[in-house]
Structure 1
Amino acid sequence: MAKRELPKHVYRQSNGIYFQRRGWPSQKFQSEFGTAEFWTEYAGILSQKDRPRKVVTRNFGALIDHYRKSPRYKNLKPRTGLDYDKYLDFFREIMGDANPAKMQRKDVIRLRDSNAEKAYFANYSLRVLRVLMEHCVDLGWRETNPARGVPEIKTAKTEREPWPRELLDVYRAHCPLGTRERLVMELCVGTGQRIGDVLTMRWSNIENGAVWVRQSKTSKELWVPILPELQAALDAASRHSVYILTNERGTNRWSYRGASAAVRKVREQIGALAYDIHSWRYNAACELLEAGCGDDLIAAVTGQSPAMVQHYTKKVRQRIRAVQAQQMRTEQHRP
């Protein structure tokens, strides 16, 4: 039988007759060609109701899979990678089958605005989408990045501040030595490190009266001497694991979620909800400044860049400068 005698998109193979059309799954006919059953089967394939779903290989699901295999994703810091995963999974859920080549700027704005009541989520999802679409451009799937230049939702920013000294005293009184809540606070304040780095600290990191830290975000290695308050908390801690801070069973390190929830419970009980677990890093930087340390000495403990040292200490720095200025002003007018 000549090929032209077969209807459109129908081809004879060695083992039967197939419907083959670009972008459609290949299907073998069950009926003999020329019979009424064959034409019914053929019409069913072409009909809108029974049309097979078009196979799209360049969809968001495939783009996300490809991105996760790329150096761009693999080079992310562990904590950043976990954050990205939440938004990548969100994109897969809402538009996994969509074609990223067809996404326009208006679609990006619509996605951002659909989460406007959750500004942090909306803005972070926009950042991740911007990176994902840049990867799409790099793959050659499209020419431009529709998320580039789309502004984030403006929010009233609340500046994080260090815990007041008297509130830290209340915290210490509420959480005696030997509790994980006390130990995590003393580690954060005493070393000036991010909570993520504090939770991964091991007993083996302690050496010659100091703790070795390798910051996950910057990869900096720091040797931070242990303060008396922290040493007392370490002496009172039980050692059930290689990690200093462990879960309740002492079998593994304390998770961020677990530590954050435990500290929040204490904050609720002592009226400190305005100050969170991240504010303790501010305490460390500000206490060093108040002790007379210059920015280079502060950075030697916290591992921060000069700009971040300035940011973390700017309010305390302003107060110190203002006191100095007013004292000079007063002395000028003395007879």
Structure 2
Amino acid sequence: MKRNGRPKAGVGKVDLPLYVSGYRNRAGRAYYYYQRYRGTDRVWPRLPMPFTPHDPEFWLRAAQYERLDAICEAGELSFGHTGHAGQRRPLPHPAKDPAGFLTALAEAHALYEREKAGDHKTFGALIDLFTQHAAYQSLKPKTRQEYDRYLDMIRGVCGDDAVRDLTTVDAQQAIDTFQDRPATARFFRAVLMRLVDFGIPRGYADANVVDKTEKVGADSTPYKPWPEWAFELFFEHARIGLHLPVYSALYTGQRSIDVIGMLRPAPEAEAIELVTHKTGGNVWAPIHSEYRDILVATHTDTALLHLREDGEAWTLAGFRTAWQRELSYGQCDPQKSPATRQAEAKREAADNPARAAAMTRIREAGLVFHGLRKNSVCMLLEAGCTETEVSRLVEMSEQMVRHYSRDIDARRVAKSAMRKLEDGWSDIRSTVLGKARNRLTEG
């Protein structure tokens, strides 16, 4: 997929659009900015670039800046945006009114894309058409949010390109940019394929070239249920503010995004009630007696159920950060500089070696929060619940419950077989071992 402007080398190995430069601070973090005519008396002020070249906002902003112009009036630059027909729309000065400048720039560029869409079957025009259609509007809010991320990326990189000019090679190259992130690559490919499919009967393309790209292999590693030793280590060493979310996930079988958003049930409530983010399904999870004891012991007057140690409610982002930080206790934090993370890891391991060892064992076993959902399913199946009952309780498809039940069924069959062998052993032993003495037990 083509980039707007002539690419040039940037920070690291990333090719940047024309006029975009980057630098790293002392901590090694990369920053980017857009600036024309450096080293001349016509130099522009540095215009900020959001995030990094891996983010869709970066390329969208580059496309917006590309259509900027600046006229020197009375010794001061006056900025404007050039529309599709060549008309100039004035913009606030980026240094005097940064927020107003970016807002006006986004509006001007959106108008430019709509004007251009009237003459060309571009990706930008197709995205506008798709997001106004029921095919997009009927998506679940969470799915729509994910679609928006990739649609913005496609618009930023090739919004002005004709859809029918896209080749399989272009699409494969775009997908390959995410080869180190398989889940992202799969979703990007799915959104691009869906978009082109939507455009075919509307005259944007004759065939879907994305269909010929390589399918990104799914992660075959299943989520593991937590063994008993993991719960013992976690509740012994993990920070107390993470305990209740684990119990809630175990007793309700919900995902972290739904667990953290749970409301505290009334003391007389029979069940935890919620609407899941992924499916929009209504969950009514009866409260287990031991779970009720935990809720009573941790009762507060707050609306939200799960709180930090300081009494403030967890946010999803805050919880996930704390969870990751807890399980990486005693390990080098990849988000920090090498010297800092090594020193911090060494200090943590020295301060609390038992905690560091516990979290290392849990981490190296590949146990994650989502595995608690499998624990919940397995508990219900082992208790004799039907697949339909489990499906309704944890809001999971019966097909997935059946997939989770394979290990449970295998254990059930094995236990049943051993019971039958025990019951008939007095008659069977002689046919297997004859009159052989067992000296190991005799002594």
- TM superposition score category, shorter chain reference: 0.7 to 0.9
Task: Deviation per CA, 1:160-189: give whole Å up to 9, x if none.
Answer: 11111221122222347xx43112111111
Q: Which moved more, 1:77-86 or 1:120-129?
A: 77-86
- Identity fraction in percent: 26
Residue 108 of structure 1: aligned partner: 171
Q: How far off its partner does 1:275 sit?
A: 1.0
Secondary structure at 1:80's aligned position in 2? helix
Residue 287 of structure 2: aligned partner: 226
Note if 1:266 corresponds to 2:329.
no
Distance 2:202 2:251 in 1: 47
Of 235, 239, 244, the residue aligned with 1:172 is 235
Q: How far off its partner does 1:83 sit?
A: 2.2
Pairing 1:216-295 to 2, within 5 Å after superposition: 216-237=277-298, 239=300, 241-245=302-306, 254-269=314-329, 270-271=359-360, 272-273=362-363, 274-295=366-387
Distance 1:237 1:76 in 2: 37
Distance 1:323 1:220 in 2: 36
Note if 1:199 corresponds to 2:291.
no
Secondary structure at 2:211's aligned position in 1? coil
Of 117, 124, 128, the residue aligned with 1:65 is 128
Q: Is the 8 A contact 2:126 2:204 kept in 1?
A: no
Q: How far off its partner does 1:134 sit?
A: 1.9
Pairing 1:311-322 to 2, within 5 Å after superposition: 311-322=403-414
Q: How far off its partner does 1:261 sit?
A: 1.9
Calculate the TM-score normalised by the size of structure 1: 0.73
Q: How far off its partner does 1:310 sit?
A: 1.2
Secondary structure at 2:328's aligned position in 1? helix
Pairing 1:33-48 to 2, within 5 Å after superposition: none
Distance 1:65 1:319 in 2: 53
Note if 1:99 corresponds to 2:191.
no
Task: Deviation per CA, 1:118-156: give whole Å up to 9, x if none.
Answer: 322222210111112122224332232222353412366
Secondary structure at 2:213's aligned position in 1? coil
Q: Which moved more, 1:179-188 or 1:320-329?
A: 320-329
From the CA coordinates, give the structure whose radius of gyration is larger.
Answer: 1
2:371 maps to amino acid? S
Of 220, 228, 238, the residue aligned with 1:157 is 220
Note if 1:304 corresponds to 2:396.
yes
Residue 273 of structure 2: aligned partner: 212
1:152 maps to amino acid? K
Q: Which segments of 5 or more consecutive residues in structure 1 lack a partner in the other structure?
A: 1-22, 29-54
Distance 1:306 1:231 in 2: 27
2:382 maps to amino acid? E
Q: How far off its partner does 1:329 sit?
A: 4.8
Task: Deviation per CA, 1:202-252: give whole Å up to 9, x if none.
Answer: 23588633111323333332321112443244334464653323578877x
2:406 maps to amino acid? K
2:396 maps to amino acid? Q
Structure 1 residues 24 and 300, CA gap change in structure 2 (3 angstroms): closer
Distance 2:302 2:141 in 1: 22
Q: Is the 8 A contact 2:178 2:184 kept in 1?
A: yes
Residue 90 of structure 1: aligned partner: 153
RMSD of aligned Cα (Å): 3.1
